[in-house]
Structure 1
Amino acid sequence: MQTSDKSEPEVVCWRDGALDGACLATARYGDHKFDRHLHDELVIVMTESGAGQCHTRAGSDVAGPGSVLVFGPGEYHSGEVWEGREWIYRAIYLDMEGLGALSAVFSPESRADSPLLIPPGLYQDPHLAGLLVKAHASLDEQRAVSLLERQANWWGAMGMLVGRYGESAQSYGEARREAHKMAQVREYLEANYERDISVDELAELVGLSRYYLTRAFCKEFGLPPHAYATQVRLLAAKRLLATGHNAASAAAAVGFYDQSHLNRLFKRAYGITPGKYAAMKPGH
C-alpha cells in the first residue's frame, strides 16, 4: 500500500506468503508527530536513515540507524520525527500466529498460550539491525528473490533477535502486579469496545474500587481504561477500512461519535486520514 503525494508520508505495507503472521512495511516521514496509539501485534522497527523519538510508559528513546525498536502488543506509544527532519524505517508486525511460529522454531517447549516475546524497548545492536534490514529488503514485494533466500534471511534474522532478547510471555508477565485482573479488564474492553462502558462496570467486573482500577490499569498498560478503549476502536476501524468500508461506516460501526471524530484521532495516531488508508492498494 502506498501514498503518492510526496508532501505526505510514504507508507508501503505488504505480506509475504512465505511467512506466517507477519506484515511488513516501509515508511518515510518528514516533520511529523504520532499521537498516542497502540498495535495488536509485536512491532519491530529498524531505522535506515534519520531518526524518530518514541515515548512509552518506560520513557523516551531516539531510534536511529543501527537500532532495533520494539513495541509489545497493546503497548501505547507516541512520538515524532527527531528534530523535525526525516525518518525512514522498515517495520515488522508480528501477530499471535507469527509469534507462535517463532516459538515453534526457537522455543518448542513454550506453551501455545505463552509464546515468545521480545521485551519492549530500544536495542542498540547494529549487527542485528543490519540482519533485520537485509531480511526485510529481501522480502520487498518489488524484488525478485527466491523463496529459499527469503526464508533463509528471515529465519537467520529472527534467530538472532530471539537468541539475544527473546523470553517467554509467561515469565515476562508473572512479575506484574494485578496482571490477571488488569488482563480481564483489557479483554472486556476489547470485547465491548463499541459500547460506552463505565468505570463502575469495569470495577465491578474485577472487584476493585474505581480509583484503584484506574491507577492499576494505567500502571499496567500506560493509559486509563477509556483511552485504551479509544485505541481498540481505532484498531477495529483500521480493519474495517482495510476490508472496503468507508470512513463514515467504520466510525459508526466501532462506536465513534461521527466520522470527524474518527478522522481526527486516526490522523493523529497513524499519520494519515482514514480515507487515504482505505484507498491504499491491498497488500498481498
Structure 2
Amino acid sequence: MAADRELVKAWRPPIKGITEVLHARFVEHAYPMHVHDSWTVLIIDDGMVRYDLDRHEHGALTKLVTLLPPYVPHNGRAANSQGFRKRVLYLDQAELGEDLIGPAVDHPALGDPQLRQSIDRLHTALLSPGEELEAETRLKLIHERLHTHLLRTTDDNPAPPDPRLARDLRDLLDSHINEGISLDEAARHLHRHPTHLIRAFTRAYAMAPHQYLTSRRVDQARHLLLQGLPPSTAAIDSGFYDQSHLTRHFKRILGVSPARYASQR
C-alpha cells in the first residue's frame, strides 16, 4: 500500500534554536504551496525533490544542502516514482535573521560537502540522548557556515590562538563533568561568543569541547568501575544519560565494554 511507503518521524529536541526535527520518506505525497515561520535546512538521503521557490523551480539533491527561508511560499514533490528520503531541521527565524531571507531565496542550494556532513552529524547527535553539548556545538558551527554562504564571506583571516580562553573553558568543563554545561551558559560565564569558544578550544586541544567532556566522563567512569560500581551506576554518576550511552562511548575510546573492563580488575 502507498501509505506504507510514507514514513514520518518528527520531534522537538531540547536544543535552543531548533524548533523541530523531521525525518521522512515520501513516494506519492506532494507538498502544495505553503510557508513556515522558521528556517528550513534540508538534506536528501535518497532520491531527489523538485520544488518551486519564488516562482523558480529548483532541485534538492543528495549532495546539496537546501536552505528555505521563513515566510516564502514553496512546494515539493518527488522527482521520480521512487520517492525520496529527507532529514530536516527547522531553525528559529531569529537564528539567521530576516536580512538573509533575500540571499536564501536567490541561492537556496548550497554545494558544501563539509556543511552537509556537519548537518548529518547533528542529526545523529539529536537522535542520541545525552549528546546535547555535541548538538549545540555542531549547530553553532552550522549557523556560522550558513552565514558565510549567504553573506558570501570567507574565513581568510581566522581568529588568532587564545590559549587562555581555551584553558578557562577546559576548567569550566572540568567543574561540570556530571551535570554538563551548555555552550550558551559557558559563553555567558566567559563573556565570549559560543563559536569563538569552540574554535579557541579546538585549536588549543585538537578536539571539540563536547569531545573533551565525553572523554573526561569516560575517564571518571573507569575509576568508578574499578571501585566496584556496576556499569549502570557508573554511567549516571559520571554524567552519562544511561548505561547504553556510557557503553557506546566507552567502547569507542577504550575498545571494550564497561562490564568487560571492570571484570579484569
Provide TM-score, normalisation by structure 1: 0.47
Greater relative contact order (Cα < 8 A, sep 6+): 1
Provide TM-score, normalisation by structure 2: 0.50
